[in-house]
Amino acid sequence: MKTDIRNRKDIELLVNTFYDKIKTDAVIGFLFTEIAKVNWEIHLPRMYDFWENILFFTGNYNGSPMQVHKDLHNKYPMKPEHFEHWVILFTKTVDELFEGEKATEIKERALNIANVIMYKSLS
């Protein structure tokens, strides 16, 4: 039986599982591995902090996701399809691992965040 997202350990499981998929994804993986050249040792803990703050209001995230995505868009023009695919992968990953109120909330927030970042990055 699946549980809800309860703590940082659950966030880490979600983030690690999600980015394992991203790294080899045929549609958007190259944006992370070839264009952004993500340093996973830095990126993953930053994402743990980001999502933990989103769900549990920990205040432990400092960053500028808008600027990072604008810079990425300047290197390689992203399209709405890239963001839509990201949301699909994220939602599927959450659904594979968790169910409950926080699982629903993180999917809704991910969609909203992706839409805002897409709008601001592409404009």
Residue 110: both structure tokens together: 């991910």
Quote the CA–CA distance of 32 and 9 in Å, as a whole number: 24
Q: Which of these CATH numbers, 2.60.40.420, 1.10.490.10, 3.30.70.120, 1.10.10.60, describes 8-122?
A: 1.10.490.10
Helix and strand numbers, DSSP H then E, in the chain: 6, 0
The contacts of residue 120 (CB under 8 Å, 6+ apart) are 66, 69, 70
The contacts of residue 55 (CB under 8 Å, 6+ apart) are 5, 11, 102, 105, 106, 109
Which SS3 state, helix, strand or coil, does residue 98 take?
strand
pTM for this entry: 0.95
Please, what is the average pLDDT of the chain?
95
* Burial (0-12, 13-18, 19+ Cβ within 10 Å), 94: buried
- Ordered by start, the domain boundaries in the chain are 8-122
Res. 93 pLDDT band, cuts 50 70 90: very high
Res. 122 pLDDT band, cuts 50 70 90: confident
Closest CA to 110 of 97, 93, 31: 93
pLDDT at 121 over 90: no
pLDDT in tens, 4-50: 999 999 999 999 999 999 999 999 999 999 999 999 999 999 999 99
